[in-house]
């Protein structure tokens, strides 16, 4: 009967070890994913800035054409 206690304790210890290793692996993957999300966020922010700069002349031209900024009615 003492061998069952030793076996159960050994299995419990091995299980905790496996859970600990999997937890570390998940933590490392989350850190990697966070870095990728940060990189993508910076890329999107840069693209937004470029899009705003490219759209500014078009918005100015549209505002100058419409006069008060509202679209003009066709035919009238």
Q: What angle do CA 10, 11, 16 make, to 5 degrees?
A: 100
pTM higher than the cut 0.75: no
What does the pLDDT read at residue 67?
Answer: 63
What does the pLDDT read at residue 11?
Answer: 96
DSSP 72: P
For the chain, the C-alpha Rg in angstroms (whole number) is 31
Divide the 76 residues of the chain into consecutive groups of 10 and give the mean pLDDT of each group: 92 97 98 98 94 88 73 57
Q: Give the sign of the dihedral formed by CA 25, CA 29, CA 30, CA 32.
A: positive
Chain centroid, CA 20 distance in Å: 26
What does the pLDDT read at residue 60?
Answer: 86
d(CA 37, CA 43): 10
């Amino acid at each position: 009967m003492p061998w069952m206690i030793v076996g159960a304790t050994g299995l419990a210890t091995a299980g905790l070890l496996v859970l600990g290793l999997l937890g570390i692996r998940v933590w490392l993957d989350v850190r990697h994913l966070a870095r990728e999300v940060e990189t993508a966020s910076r890329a999107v922010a840069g693209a937004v800035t470029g899009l705003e700069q490219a759209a500014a002349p078009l918005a100015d031209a549209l505002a100058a054409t419409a006069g008060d900024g509202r679209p003009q009615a066709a035919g009238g």
